[in-house]
Amino acid sequence: MLKQNLSQRMLQKLSPQQIQLMKLLQIPTATLDQRIQEELESNPALDEGEEFEEVFDIDEGFGDEKDEDAEPEENVELDDYLQEYMDDDPISYKMKTDVYSTEDEKTIPIAVENSFHDHLENQIGMLEFDNETDEIIAHQIVGSIDEDGYLRRDPASIVDDLMFSQNIIVEKKDIQRLLNVVQHLDPPGVASTSLQECLLNQIDTNINRSEDASEILMVARKVLDSYFDEFTKKHYDKLKKALEISESDLKDAIAEILKLNPKPASGFNSGSYQNTNSVQYIMPDFIIVNRDGELELSLNNKNAPDLRINDGYMDMLRSYKDTTKGRRSTKKEKEAIMFIKQKIDSAKWFIDAIKQRQETLYNTMYTIMQYQYDFFLSGDNRKLKPMILKDIAEITSLDISTISRVANSKFVQTEFGTKRLKDFFSESLMTQDGKEVSTFEVKNILEDAIKAEDKRKPLSDEKLKDYLKNKGYNIARRTVAKYREQLNIPVARLRKEL
């Protein structure tokens, strides 16, 4: 049985402006200019310039369609809107205000380099193939290599890819034949199908390049070929017994293996080829300067151009006012002015969102700087206080999600280096004497203990727990394991060395 009933509910919905602001907060300074350029291209009412006129409330006077036969006083009062717009005193501000500006603008160089796949394609282009089909197969194999440099797509799938995309019918043996060609490209180990094959291909390259391959290289190859499982599990005693070699020779052989690259494309960062002289640049979102013991904070506005409302749209409004003076506007004129209003609204919302983004970023970073003042003065990680998102949210009166968006993917430049913002947040931990410390302090002690351990007998998580307990930090073994993993330190068995 169907029934109808009325009910009242309170729902919280985000406005388009709020959604736009949240998205802008997540954007780091390095990519802000791209987002602004996208908005400039999509909205002709938004313009780039030294300043903009902050305009009016234009939410009134255009919202409702009126009947053509309605009385003049019931018509949309466009004239009132135009008069309000043109009489409004312009309030200008620049994106780089005094409080946010930096004294010296530095141009950050950007390395222009070939991508990993371009590097391989260039080598393919220099090879001579027996026929066009072989060249197409080679290009297909290169295109199937992943970002680590491995070919994890099986030959049968590549056969299907060629049939559907190139309308070429080949056999798996053709794929295998051309795969062998691709695997001899630079870097060594490229297009391998497994880690073992990758390392073997690299060590074979080293042996072939050596005029007189050393016995150690041959032992290293035998380890990879016949005892790979024992090697990965660091069962060194089994390896010495099976290979019938001394501990010294085994150590030298393993040293040769450790010189190999388990990810052939690791020299290609995010698709960009990184040679030995290449440097990755991070554009900081904030800059903190120590002025004789006083910290000064500024926003890096290098990629935030000044924005304003396009003058052409203002002229169109003035022209409309002149042409409709003394008469009622037609329906087409109303539609035109509604379009102009929509674009101006959108431009104003975007400019306000950029301004609010700058203010939110500054206020949040200023609060973090004050909270961690001792650290920013000294650069000593031991002076970092326990700090969670809620602490900053309460001081700034902002929502925790807003603080999280600000902290994510943002960097601050200090005299001690450029730091990731989210790294300043940590939970608190109580020592045995009741003192509250940051988990950063515990991680630093844990890291120092592992660095100083005997690599022949690495400390287990249980022994690390006892070590921290002696230092006054009473934490569980599983917490030690969690901190160790956060520091990207492997378990004791994998830290073992000869």
CATH number at residue 466: 1.10.10.60
Surface-to-core class of residue 142, CB atoms within 10 Å of its CB (0-12 exposed, 13-18 middle, 19+ buried):
buried
Query: Which two three-digit tokens encode residue 367?
Result: 């609060």
CB 247 within 8 A of CB 133: no
Domain co-membership, 290 together with 412? yes
**Helices 331-371 and 78-87 meet at what angle, rounded to 10?**
40
Residue where a domain stops, chosen among 408, 425, 442: 425
The pLDDT of residue 456 = 83
**Per the domain annotation, does 13 fall within a domain?**
no
Residues 156 and 201 in one domain: no
Are 439 and 397 contained in the same domain? Answer: no
Give me the residue label for tokens 């040293």. 255
DSSP state of 471: T
Q: Is 262 helix (H, G, I), strand (E, B) or coil?
A: coil
Judge whether 172 lies within some domain. yes
| Interacting residues of 317 by C-beta distance below 8 A, sequence separation 6+ | 82, 85, 86, 337, 340
State the Cα–Cα distance between residues 200 and 438, nearest whole angstrom. 45
Cis peptide before 72 (omega within 30 of 0): no
Strands 46-48 and 307-309 come out as: antiparallel
Q: Report d(CA 348, CA 364) in Å as an integer.
A: 24
What length is written for the chain? 498
What's the CA gap between 352 and 346, in Å, rounded?
Answer: 10
Q: Which two three-digit tokens encode residue 75?
A: 């018509």
Is residue 225 in a domain?
A: yes
Provide the pLDDT for residue 286. Answer: 92
Q: Which of 351, 337, 335, 342 is nearest to 46 (CA)?
A: 351
Q: pLDDT tens track of the chain, all 498 residues?
A: 566 777 666 555 556 667 777 788 878 887 888 888 888 888 888 887 654 444 444 343 333 444 444 444 434 445 554 555 444 444 333 433 444 444 444 444 445 556 888 889 999 989 999 899 999 999 999 999 998 899 998 999 999 989 988 888 999 999 999 999 999 999 999 999 999 999 999 999 988 887 766 888 899 999 999 999 888 888 888 988 998 889 888 988 888 998 899 989 887 654 444 444 444 567 888 999 999 889 999 988 776 778 888 777 777 777 766 666 666 767 777 787 788 888 888 888 888 888 888 899 999 999 999 999 999 998 887 788 888 889 999 999 999 888 988 888 889 999 988 988 888 887 777 777 767 677 777 888 888 889 888 888 888 988 898 888 888 888 888 888 888 888 888 888 888 877
Q: What does DSSP assign to residue 100?
A: T
Q: Are residues 286 and 343 in the same domain?
A: yes
Are 297 and 418 in the same domain? yes
Is residue 297 located within the same domain as residue 405? yes
- Count of structural domains within the chain: 4
**Do 133 and 223 sit in the same domain of this protein?**
no
My answer on whether 377 and 412 are in the same domain is: yes
**Edge to edge, what strands does the sheet with 286-291 contain?**
294-299, 286-291, 411-414, 417-420
123 falls within a domain: yes
In a domain, 269, yes or no: no
**74: Cβ contacts below 8 Å, ≥ 6 apart:** 66
**Is 266 inside a domain boundary?**
no
Distance CA 285, CA 269 (A): 22
Burial 219-256 (b: 16+ CB within 10 A, else e): bbbebbeeeeebbeebbbeebeeebebeeeebebbbeb
Question: Do 409 and 285 belong together in one domain?
Answer: yes
Per the structure, the complete domain to which residue 224 belongs is given by: 194-260
Torsion of CA 416, 418, 423, 429, to 10 degrees: 0
Backbone angles phi and psi of 269, in degrees to 5:
-90, 120
Residues 301 and 248 in one domain: no
Least Cα distance to 91 among 59, 52, 57 occurs for 52
Together in a domain, 361 and 381: yes
Residue 421 sits in the same domain as residue 293: yes
Contact criterion met (CB below 8 Å) for 450 and 481: no
